[in-house]
Structure 1
Amino acid sequence: MSASNTRRQIVDVADRLFYEHGFEASSFADIARDVGLSRGNFYYHFKTKDEILAAVIAQRISNTRAMLETWEQDTESPSDRILSFVHILIANRTKIMAYGCPVGTLCNELAKLDHVAKDEAAGLLTLFRNWLAGQFAALGRDADADALALHLLMRSQGVATLATAFRDEQFIRREVADIEAWLRTECSAALAADSRHPA
Structure 2
Amino acid sequence: MGASDTRRQIVEAADRLFYERGFEATSFADIAEAVGLSRGNFYYHFKAKDEILAAVIERRAAKTHAMLREWEGASESARERIRAFVHILIANKTMIMAHGCPVGTLCSELARLEHVAKNDASGILSLFRDWLARQFAALGRQAEADALALHILMRSQGVAALAAAFRDEEFIRREVEAMEAWLENQCAAASSLKSRPRL
Q: Aligned pair 1:17/2:14, yes or no?
A: no
Aligned to 2:130: 130
Q: How many residues align?
A: 194
Q: Post-superposition shift, 1:75?
A: 1.2
Letter in 1 for 2:145: A
CA RMSD of aligned residues (A): 1.4
Q: 1:40 to 1:144 in 2, by over 3 A?
A: same
**1:114-129 equivalences in 2 (<5 Å):** 114-129=114-129
The normalised TM-score by structure 1 is 0.95
CA–CA separation in structure 1 for the residues paired with 2:103 and 2:83: 18
Aligned to 2:97: 97
CA–CA separation in structure 1 for the residues paired with 2:42 and 2:192: 55
Aligned to 1:54: 54
Structure 2 residues without counterparts, runs of 5 or longer: 194-199
CA–CA separation in structure 2 for the residues paired with 1:191 and 1:135: 15
Aligned to 2:109: 109
Q: Deviations over 1:82-134 (max 9, x none)?
A: 00000000000000000000000000000000000000000000000000000
Of stretches 166-175 and 69-78 in structure 1, the one that deviates more from structure 2 is 69-78
Aligned to 1:197: none
CA–CA separation in structure 2 for the residues paired with 1:177 and 1:134: 22
Aligned to 1:196: none
CA contact under 8 A between 1:184 and 1:191: conserved in structure 2? no
CA–CA separation in structure 2 for the residues paired with 1:192 and 1:4: 54
Structure 1 residues without counterparts, runs of 5 or longer: 194-199
Identity of aligned residues (%): 72
Q: Post-superposition shift, 1:190?
A: 3.9
Letter in 2 for 1:6: T
Q: Aligned pair 1:67/2:77, yes or no?
A: no
Q: Deviations over 1:139-164 (max 9, x none)?
A: 00000000000000110000000000
Q: Post-superposition shift, 1:191?
A: 6.4
Aligned to 1:5: 5
Stretches (4+) displaced over 3 A? 189-193
**1:29-48 equivalences in 2 (<5 Å):** 29-48=29-48
CA–CA separation in structure 1 for the residues paired with 2:169 and 2:113: 31
CA–CA separation in structure 1 for the residues paired with 2:84 and 2:146: 18
Q: Post-superposition shift, 1:76?
A: 1.3
CA–CA separation in structure 2 for the residues paired with 1:107 and 1:16: 15
